[in-house]
Each structure stands twice: as C-alpha cells, then as structure tokens.
C-alpha cells in the first residue's frame, strides 16, 4: 500500500487517486532568476521519487512543473507575499539586461540540472508569462463571484470570502488578524487579503494589458491557472517545499476552489528545508551550492542524489560534505556488487530455504512506499548488499537468486533514480537476439503459446530469460551443459 503524509490532513494516509490507475500531479517549479541549488533539488527529488514509486506500481502519472518567470516578489517571507520587487525584474535591472534573457538563462540551467540529477522530466513545463490570458480570465471569474475586488488597478482576493482559508497551513483568518507580519498595501481593504493582479509602475519592465489597466500577476494565481489548464479542476498530488505551504499553497486552494466550486487537490506533499549552518539554503540569502559547485569538488550528481535520499523528506537536513563522501562510497559499493554478481557463475540452480533475498525486495518496496521512506529503504539495501557480498565470497549464490537480483535491481534503481554504471553488456549470440526479437513481438500480440515456446528455445541454447515490464532480461545459464 502506498501512503503519504498529507499536509492538508496532518497525518499519513493511504494513496487513492481520483481516477483509477491515473495520477494528476503538480509541482511548484523554480523562480528562474538564479542557479538552481541543492535545496530546490531536494524538493524536486521528492516529487520525482513519488512519481517513480507510482510508476513502478503501474500508475500512469501526468506531471506538470511550472516555471515562475514573473510575479514572485523579493519579500516572500512576509505574510501574503505581496511585498518587494519582482525577483526577476530586480536581477534584470541590476545586470542591465532584459528579464527574458535572465529567465532564459536560468531556465536552461534548471533543465540541465534536472537532467544531470536524473529527475524524470515533467510532461510539460508551463511558464507563467505564457499564461497571462488564463490568469486574467480566472481573476475576472473571481471578481464576478465576489471573491476578489479591484482598487486602483490592483485586484485582491478577499480572504474573508472563503471559509476554509487556513485549513492547509493553520494560518486561519483569526490567527492572521492577531499575529502575522502583514504587509500594508495602501489599496488592500484588509491586510490579510492577497494580490491577484498588481498595477505596474510605468518603469516596470514586465507588464500586460488587462481589464484593470496595465499590470502584472501576483505570484499565487499562476499555479491555479496553469494546473487548471493542464490537469483540470481537481488533481491528486501537489508538491513543493515547506515554505510553499503559506502563503502560496493556501492561496492556490482559495483561488481554485472559489473559482470552480470543486475540491482542488487531495494530497499536499511538502519537503522540509535543506539547511546550511542551520539556515534555509536559498537563492536570496546567497548561501547555496549549485550542482556545478559540488561537481568541482569531485562529487557526481548521483552522489548528491543518494545523499539527499539518505534523509527523510519530512526532516530538515543539514548540508554536509561528509554525507556526500559517505554516499560516494555507498555508490561505489553498489557498483562493485552489481559487477560481482554479473560476473559470478552460480553452481546451484535453486537457493536453500533460509536465504532471504526475495523477502528483502518485498520489504524494500513496502518501506519506500510508506511515505517515501528512502532512508529506511536504503538501510535495507546496504544490509542486503553486505549479505550478498558475504555469500558471493562463499560462492553460495544460486542461479535463481542471481536472476532475481538482476531483475529487481532494475526496479530498485528506477525507484531511487540512481544511474549505476554497468560494465559493457555481454554480447549475445545472433541466434539468441533473433529469438528475443520474435518473442518480444509474440508478447506484443499476446501470443503466449509462441512466447513460451521461444523461451524454451532460449533455454535450450543455455540462457535464461525473465520478463520485466517492457523488457526481457537475459543471463547465461552457468549450469547449462550440452
């Protein structure tokens, strides 16, 4: 059973999608004004692991990750996020270039980083500036339904019009009224309302025509507009870092549910922060490390991936070079063990009853499927590798186990997203390749009688074939005698 901790329910709950077998998932992507750092990567890795866990179980996941290229203001730590200057405009002004050249450069950097980190690409990466029309339409709708109001070219969401406001973050209206540091926008009716559209001063570089005059969108509305455009009115999973819970995701729920009258999203999954010296790693604090910086110190993207997976996504994590060193060693161990078992020629067909390899695989998957418990699953994996190495030393690994290991190893590395170097695959005889091809066609045509016959032909030639979802795994039968 797959389960996740749902921020909205404040507990771990079993996963059940809205449509059987299909999952609609949205991830808040980067604000593209600086290099992607390890903190951002940590959040995207959580989303990636969720997707891999689900796909491994056969779910068809549609994943959207947006690119924020307008509307995210510098003081997003102050209450509703309506204070300060647009982050991208600020950078463009400082560097005396256009906002587009800033966003283009950092968007490219983001994609390269994700690729190197082996993060599965989202099915689409919509950009906020490409969806101004959808945002305007959504805002018009919210005004018509009296959830939003216009003052001097600005449009604000009236928080008092949505009774469930605060359910996600706990920042209910009552609490906001007495507690938070609220920005004093002169045009807001109430300081707890948030901006949907902001009037642009003449010198503002990014501005668009709207029914309320020239302006630019608030930060939160983009994700409501883009998730609706590409996933529909209700989705299964929404992810982001813990700083997104409030105000960003709270605002998304309010906007989306007020506009559609439907429940917006079932599972809200948030990654706790990656810290440096006890402080959130962030672009604005400039206390971050990019992937390039760690590569310059001799670590690979997979060393980083394994390091990030070694800590649970719901615990804060302190960045440390020591942890990277340990992961590097662990990865080497994985590579070595894989190589050893590939080279090992078993002398027994079947394992004796007391061997535990098959139960290991089962436990590995149930562990990681339990609220993405990657550290727990990795601990099991290291234990299994130790056992396996001891048994390889004693030459007591059976043919059956070797095959099971190689088959399950592919699933494990898929779910962990680890690219483990494999030595060049053994060249198969031409005859075997021909039969494999025929068998693949037979399986496509669901001709199981033929596929079974071809399996026997392969076995008669001294090889063993086993079926993975989209592939046939083949190894030489070291016990074969002709």
Among 4, 15, 25, 30, binds ligand AMP (CB under 6 A): 30
Selected range binding Zn ion among 3-11, 24-32, 277-285, 356-364, rule: CB under 5 A: 24-32
**Smallest distance, ligand AMP to C-beta of residue 42, A:** 5
List Cβ neighbours of 320 (8 Å cut-off, separation of 6 or more): none
**Token pair belonging to 231:** 């996933």
**Smallest distance, ligand AMP to C-beta of residue 464, A:** 45
* Residue whose token pair is 């507009």: 225
Number of residues that bind ligand AMP (CB under 6 A): 19
**Smallest distance, Zn ion to C-beta of residue 226, A:** 8
**Smallest distance, ligand AMP to C-beta of residue 226, A:** 14
417 near ligand AMP, rule: CB under 6 A: no
Partners of 241 in the β-ladder: 271
Q: Which is nearer to Zn ion, 88 or 412 (CB)?
A: 88
Among 71, 81, 217, 240, binds ligand AMP (CB under 6 A): 240
C-alpha torsion 154→159→162→163, nearest 10: -170
Phi and psi torsions of 257, nearest 5°: -70, -35
Cα→Cα distances 453→133, 438, 460, 464, Å: 59, 11, 11, 13
Q: Which is nearer to ligand AMP, 251 or 281 (CB)?
A: 281
Q: Which is nearer to Zn ion, 223 or 403 (CB)?
A: 223
Draw the binding track, 244-283, toward ligand AMP (x: CB under 6 A; -: no contact).
Answer: x--------------------------x-xx-----xxxx
CB atoms within 10 A of CB 229: 16
Q: Which is nearer to ligand AMP, 220 or 283 (CB)?
A: 283
- Which of 120, 118, 122, 109 is CA-nearest to residue 305? 118
67 near Zn ion, rule: CB under 5 A: no
Among 2, 24, 25, 28, binds Zn ion (CB under 5 A): 28
* Residue whose token pair is 């951002």: 40
Q: Which is nearer to Zn ion, 224 or 451 (CB)?
A: 224
Among 4, 42, 199, 200, binds ligand AMP (CB under 6 A): 42
Alpha helices by DSSP H, listed for 120-249, are 132-144, 173-178, 219-231
DSSP SS3 for 214: coil
Measured CA to CA, the distance from residue 417 to residue 48 in angstroms comes to 8
Cβ contact 47:25 at 8 Å = yes
Q: Which is nearer to Zn ion, 93 or 111 (CB)?
A: 111
Number of residues that bind Zn ion (CB under 5 A): 2
223 near Zn ion, rule: CB under 5 A: yes
- Which of 14, 11, 19, 18 is CA-nearest to residue 2? 14
Q: Which is nearer to Zn ion, 106 or 361 (CB)?
A: 106
43 near ligand AMP, rule: CB under 6 A: yes
Draw the binding track, 91-130, toward ligand AMP (x: CB under 6 A; -: no contact).
Answer: ----------------------------------------
Q: Vertex 80, ends 78 and 82: CA angle to 5°?
A: 80
Draw the binding track, 64-83, toward ligand AMP (x: CB under 6 A; -: no contact).
Answer: ----x---------------
List Cβ neighbours of 437 (8 Å cut-off, separation of 6 or more): none
**Smallest distance, Zn ion to C-beta of residue 273, A:** 16
Selected range binding Zn ion among 155-163, 222-230, 401-409, 455-463, rule: CB under 5 A: 222-230
Q: Which runs of E-coded beta strand occur in 188-338?
A: 194-199, 215-217, 235-241, 265-271, 274-276, 279-280, 317-318
Q: Residue 223 binds which entry of ligand AMP, Zn ion, none, with Cβ cut-offs from 5 to 8 Å by kind?
A: Zn ion
28 near ligand AMP, rule: CB under 6 A: yes
Half-sphere exposure of residue 111: CA atoms within 13 angstroms, side-chain side: 13
**Counting beta carbons within 10 angstroms of the beta carbon of residue 329, is it exposed (0 to 12), middle (13 to 18) or buried (19 or more)?**
exposed
40 near ligand AMP, rule: CB under 6 A: yes
31 near ligand AMP, rule: CB under 6 A: yes
Cβ contact 39:282 at 8 Å = yes
Measured CA to CA, the distance from residue 193 to residue 185 in angstroms comes to 10
**Smallest distance, Zn ion to C-beta of residue 73, A:** 14
Q: Residue 196 binds which entry of Zn ion, ligand AMP, none, with Cβ cut-offs from 5 to 8 Å by kind?
A: none
Q: Residue 71 binds which entry of Zn ion, ligand AMP, none, with Cβ cut-offs from 5 to 8 Å by kind?
A: none
Task: State the sign of the Cα–Cα–Cα–Cα dihedral 274, 277, 278, 284.
Answer: negative
**Token pair belonging to 278:** 């006890």
- List contacts with ligand AMP (CB under 6 A): 28, 30-31, 39-40, 42-43, 68, 240-241, 243-244, 271, 273-274, 280-283
- List contacts with Zn ion (CB under 5 A): 28, 223
């Amino acid at each position: 059973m797959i389960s996740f901790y749902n921020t909205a329910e404040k507990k771990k709950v079993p996963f059940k999608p809205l449509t059987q077998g299909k999952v609609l998932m949205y991830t808040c992507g980067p604000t593209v004004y600086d290099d992607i750092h390890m903190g951002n990567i940590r959040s995207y890795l959580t989303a990636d692991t969720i997707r891999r866990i689900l796909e491994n179980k056969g779910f068809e996941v549609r994943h959207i990750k947006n690119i924020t290229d307008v509307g995210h203001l510098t003081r997003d730590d102050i209450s509703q996020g309506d204070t300060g200057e647009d982050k991208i405009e600020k950078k463009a002004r400082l560097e005396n270039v256009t906002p587009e050249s800033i966003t283009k450069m950092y968007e490219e950097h983001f994609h390269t980083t994700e690729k190197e980190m082996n993060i599965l690409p989202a099915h689409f990466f919509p950009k906020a500036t490409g969806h101004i029309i959808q945002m305007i339409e959504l805002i018009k709708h919210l005004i018509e339904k009296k959830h939003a109001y216009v003052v001097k070219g600005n449009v604000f969401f009236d928080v008092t019009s949505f009774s469930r406001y605060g359910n996600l973050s706990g920042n209910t209206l009552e609490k906001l009224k007495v507690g938070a540091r609220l920005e004093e926008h002169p045009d807001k009716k109430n300081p707890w309302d948030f901006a949907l559209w902001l009037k642009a001063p003449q010198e503002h570089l990014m501005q668009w025509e709207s029914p309320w005059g020239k302006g630019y969108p608030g930060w939160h509305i983009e994700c409501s507009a883009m998730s609706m455009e590409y996933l529909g009115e209700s989705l299964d999973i929404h992810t982001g870092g813990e700083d997104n819970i409030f105000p960003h995701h709270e605002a998304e729920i309010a906007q989306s549910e007020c506009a559609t009258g439907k429940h917006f999203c079932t599972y809200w999954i948030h990654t706790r922060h990656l810290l440096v010296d006890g402080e959130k790693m962030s672009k604005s604090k400039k206390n971050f490390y990019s992937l390039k910086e760690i590569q310059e110190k001799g670590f690979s993207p997979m060393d980083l991936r394994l390091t990030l997976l070694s800590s649970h996504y719901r615990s804060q994590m302190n960045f440390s070079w020591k942890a990277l060193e340990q992961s590097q060693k662990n990865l080497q161990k994985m590579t070595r063990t894989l190589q050893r078992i590939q080279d090992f020629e078993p002398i027994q067909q079947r394992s004796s009853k007391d061997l535990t390899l098959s139960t290991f695989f089962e436990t590995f998957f149930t562990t990681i499927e339990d609220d993405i418990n990657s550290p727990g699953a990795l601990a099991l994996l290291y234990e299994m590798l130790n056992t396996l190495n001891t048994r390889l030393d004693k030459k007591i690994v059976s043919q059956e186990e070797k095959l099971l290991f190689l088959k399950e190893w592919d699933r494990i590395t898929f779910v962990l997203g680890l690219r483990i170097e494999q030595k060049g695959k053994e060249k198969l005889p031409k005859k075997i390749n021909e039969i494999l091809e025929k068998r693949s066609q037979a399986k496509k045509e669901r001709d199981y009688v033929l596929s079974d016959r071809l399996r026997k032909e392969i076995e008669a030639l001294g090889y063993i074939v086993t079926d993975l979802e989209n592939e046939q795994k083949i190894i030489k039968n070291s016990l074969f005698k002709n």
